[in-house]
Structure 1
Amino acid sequence: PESECRGCDVAPRPSSRGHSCWDFTDDSDSDSEDRVPKRCYKLSEPQGFPGFLLFLCRLLSPVLRSYGRAAEFLERPPWPQPEADYVEALLEFLDEDEDGYPDRSLALSSLQSFKDMGVLEELQTPTGPLLQLSQPFQSASNREKLRAFIHQFTQL
């Protein structure tokens, strides 16, 4: 129920009317029988805590900037590829705009978050696991939605 939502509720939820959410599914295959349920992420400002979301966004700005750059990076790698190659290429990409060394822990954190969110998935092969973009994020428009979703929090 809406009354039970916490301030920064980003738990996956089914899409419903009256809720503002980000839908990262591709509607072009809506007739598919093996359709994955939609992922919906809802953020709301908690009553009685004005400015809380702004505070969190500013506190997390280094993480959000890294995640935003990592979302941009999804356009570059050849897919699929070994995770170690992805991490090294991501660190080089992050280093292009940094005034020093990119933070490896932020790169690894973005990788894990993208796996948890279903942006990236592991493909098991005879030579070992490979990373690939999940079906919804093979669409350029859904990758752009992800970048816009992250970017909105860096603008606060």
Structure 2
Amino acid sequence: MSLDDLPNAAAQLKPSKPQPLTHPANRIVRPDKLTRAEELHLQLADEIVRGILAPGSALDETEIARRFRVSRTPVREALRQLAASGLVEARAHRGAVVAQPSIERLSGMFEAMAELEALCAGLAAERMAPAERYRLEQIHEQLRVL
């Protein structure tokens, strides 16, 4: 058996229509309903996570505003949101820099994330319809053989 033998498995697990984004503040938003600050927050967070903006890099409000062709107000709000999430360190009268989390902090974050994922998986399993559970078990068995 190969992955080619499972052409419908992935398609059956994917939702049939586009799902709304989850905003960092845990509210569901539609992409066309994001404020400019929220768009900047998501873009900068993505660049931080992907390593485009390295830990310790200065985040100059004026440069970011120029780059994204916005005023400094949405930039300040996006940086405030990033600081609240821990991706950015805001320094009084010195601007903001990309956070440099310690090994201990990263370890704690991964532990918390693992616990949340386990909780979510458990809740999803409890709420799964019998037909969905049966189909998932079939797919799991097919993949286990691989």
TM-score where L is the length of structure 1 = 0.35
Larger radius of gyration: 2
TM-score where L is the length of structure 2 = 0.37
Higher helix share: 2
Task: Determine which structure has greater relative contact order: mean sequence separation of CA pairs < 8 Å that are 6+ residues apart, divided by chain length.
Answer: 1
